[in-house]
Amino acid sequence: MKKQMFIVALAVALAAPASFAQPDKVGVTQLKPIPSQASAALWASKMLARHHYKALPLDDAMSEKIFDRYFKTLDGEKMYFLQSDIDQFDVVRNKLDDAINNENLTLPFVLFNVYQQRFTERMAYARELLKTKLDFTTDETYMLDREKAAWPKNEDEARELWRKRVKNDWLRLKLAGKDDKAIREALDKRYDNYQVRLRKLNNEDVFQMFMNAYATSIEPHTNYLGPRAADNFDIAMRLSLEGIGAVLQTREEYTVIREIVAGSPAGLSGKLKVGDRIVGVAQGDTAFTDVLGWRIDDVVQLIRGPKDSAVRLDVLPADAGTDGKHIAVSLVRKKISMEEQSAKKSIIEVRDGGVKRRVGVISLPTFYLDFDARRRGDKDYKSATRDVARILGELKKEKVDNVLIDLRNNGGGSLIEAVELTGLFIDKGPVVQQRTAEGRIEVESDTNAGLAWDGPVGVLINRGSASASEIFAAAIQDYGRGLIIGEPSFGKGTVQTMINLDRFAPPSEKVHYGELKMTIAQFFRINGGTTQLRGVSPDIKLPVTSDNENFGESSYDNALPYVSIKPASYVASGDLKELIAPLQKRHEARIAKDKDFQYLQEDIAEMRKLRKENAISLNEVVRRKERDTQEAKAKLREARLASQGTVDDKEARSKVPDPTTRPAKAVAVKGSPRQDDGLQADERSLAAELAAEKAAKNAKDVMLQEAAHILSDEVAMFKTDTRLASRVMPYRAAIKLPD
């Protein structure tokens, strides 16, 4: 009783209006937990404390970790709370374990409600600032990333922070050519929509945020999914859904089309394009429902529907301003096979003097598998291995000299597929080892004799290559089967399982507890090492474009450590070490003369400089000069590219992600009970994904092009030294290939 009174008193004290601007007249709805959430939290805690690979008790020490991570979830950029808030909250730092164990979740909801109050106050102040005249002649800067900054000490410091935030928002629109009236209206609507979106959060959202703070305090890849999130969890793995065939994302208050599936209703209509903003949705001939500022899952729910039913979209075209003319697009839903996520092939022709060599490229965005269809015995079930095997057969007929598997930004997927895909390139043998929480070692092996491709092979990876991608790349490397090209991979070497918490719910009650994605094992290479933390190191190193400090397993403060175990029993297919030094030397000599690589290096240097500075000028003259310099540089490059190739060539050039762009949520993947679930949520960089997807659609991006040159060099070395191939790839003579 005393504890309950203490919590209520704390809520009243902290939520009292400060000397900041008064909240909106709309007010803030005080969210409260429901009984089923308290039960779900307790059952989840029992599973995590007993069965997690890194099982930790739910005690005061864990409570302190949850406390810090919960506040990071709510206000990671330190834009809303004051240091005085944190100081007052400190008295409950070690009480969150009690909240779960005693099935009383009032405390985490109190903390969220105070966050809502502070958020409302900040938005009210920001909107008041729009009525003032801002000075863009002073020399001051705005910090872009405040994750490592201190909380504002007091309200004056918070006001100063938001003055600069509003000033930067205004200046961006001003540089885009908008006048003061249009800017004021646009920003006022934007800040209002921020509040609208906050008010749309419900108790399930708050509970999920709190439970995720708990889950990720144990280990980065453990998550809680509320009932609604769990319902949507397996779409990406099955690669099909009933809808319009468009991948959506949130940008400010808009739902934006990120990708359109070829052959889908959206694609066949010819009326929608990437970047279009969906502002309204209607079922059949009914009136449009305004979805501006809506949560992405709510918008998706409206757009999805039964096969052959009609849906209309109110669309603001990508190239139209915020006040541009809308178009209405009517579509008939159908079952969509998300083919843009399937394996794709292309052929790059490399000229070396008077010789032309052909490198077959297989781009694989994810290790997908339709588990349900496979379990049903459907002979045509969808799988990455099946698609790659078919493509390899086609590439054989097209007489390619080498094959490159492009796994850039492939965040993982099915463990089964990682093993079976490796089996296309080795005869038989172990592929990956797993160690359970109990210390039991299990070996996943390819048991199918023969190879689908016995020629030379390369694997292209980057920092976004994770989990199943790392298992495949590590196995190819350990067997000496192919060259790994690129930059060090992500470093996710853990195994997750999905636990449906509904099984603990009382059978007489129709309640849903959600699901727990929990780490239960760790991957180990067949050589005894692990992909965990360190990832896979490439044989041939390309320029590093990623921000390793903020992206990758090593960026997590509680990642599992690198350890090793006893190697599995296997026989290497070959030994490519003899090739690495001369190939690296040729690569470095070639890119030293390549203007595209020089541009790339300039972009990387500029990206790192911006990240290090972590600030942007609020002086209009300075910003215009910076923009004009960038535009001039871009025009020079485009002019050069125009003189050398087509528009498609220009669009395919590799781009470095914008360091000012915040990562967005990515669709999670669900598969078999024990599998690698890949990178999810904020583990991915959306900017990196989009850049890589764009590059992968055309074989001319500089990284892919250079990887093809490296594999062409390998073939040239074999042609020059006929005994070299037999030394480094003896399996070709030893294995009889199937017809």
Q: Residue 442: how many CB atoms within 10 A of its CB?
A: 12
Q: H-helix or E-strand containing 283?
A: strand 277-283
For the chain, the residue count is 739
DSSP states of 449-513: -S-S--S-EEEEE-TT--THHHHHHHHHHHTT-SEEEES------EEEEEEEGGGGS-TTS----
Is residue 573 part of the annotated active site? The answer reads no
Q: Name the catalytic one among 36, 467, 546, 654.
A: 467
CA distance 665 to 27: 28
Rg (CA), the chain: 27
The residue with tokens 């709309």 is 26
DSSP state of 16: S
CA distance 364 to 349: 20
Q: H-helix or E-strand containing 253?
A: none
Is residue 467 part of the annotated active site? The answer reads yes
Query: Nearest-CA neighbor of 152 among 89, 78, 71, 68?
Result: 78
Locate 296 and state its tokens.
Answer: 């992405």
597 φ, ψ (degrees, to nearest 5): -70, -35
CA distance 576 to 483: 7
Q: Name the catalytic one among 169, 401, 478, 701.
A: 478
Is residue 492 part of the annotated active site? The answer reads yes
| Bridge partners of residue 260, in order along the sequence | 246
The residue with tokens 């390793």 is 548
CA distance 265 to 313: 12
277 in Cβ contact with 221 (< 8 Å): no
Q: Residue 35: how many CB atoms within 10 A of its CB?
A: 11
Amino acid identity for residue 175 in this structure: L
359 in Cβ contact with 712 (< 8 Å): yes
Amino acid identity for residue 61 in this structure: A
Q: Name the catalytic one among 382, 492, 517, 655.
A: 492
**Active-site residues: which are they?**
467, 478, 492
